Amino acid sequence: MSIIKIKNERYLRRKARVRAKIYGTALTPRVSVFRSNRHFYAQLIDDASGKTIASVSSLALVKASKKSKQDLAKTLGGELAKKASEKKIGQAVFDKGAYKYHGSVKAFCDALRAGGIKV
């Protein structure tokens, strides 16, 4: 097996392990994050109905400014917190996916908490 397939299988195993333990509802949705080398994406998901409640991404922000990845994640965390408060969501479950809880993922979660969302 090639090293790329092995890495992808490990990634999917880590993601499934985290995902098996959490579940989002309409009152406490799941905050799912995805980060690539260039961009950061996050969304509030209601797993009971299978719908995305709100989402943010760094696609538009990167073109406008040359911030670090952590600064972009903080900005996105604040935006998602605003969108959640507009929809009267005060609590959520954090799904870090297959990523470690450090760097931009941690900065995003801290910004969500600062925005008033219990994570």
Secondary structure of residue 98 in the 3-state scheme: coil
Q: What are the structure tokens assigned to 47, written together? A: 């797993």
Decide if 31 contacts 112 (C-beta within 8 A).
yes
Model confidence pLDDT, tens digit, residues 40-56: 999 999 999 999 999 99
Predicted TM-score (pTM) of the model is: 0.89
3-class DSSP assignment, residue 82: helix
List, in order of start, the domains of the chain with CATH numbers.
Answer: 3-114 (3.30.420.100)
How does residue 111 score in pLDDT terms, banded at 50, 70 and 90? very high
| 3-state per-residue secondary structure call for 15-71 | HHHHHCCCCCCCCCCEEEEEECCCCEEEEEEECCCCEEEEEEECHHHHHHCCCCHHH
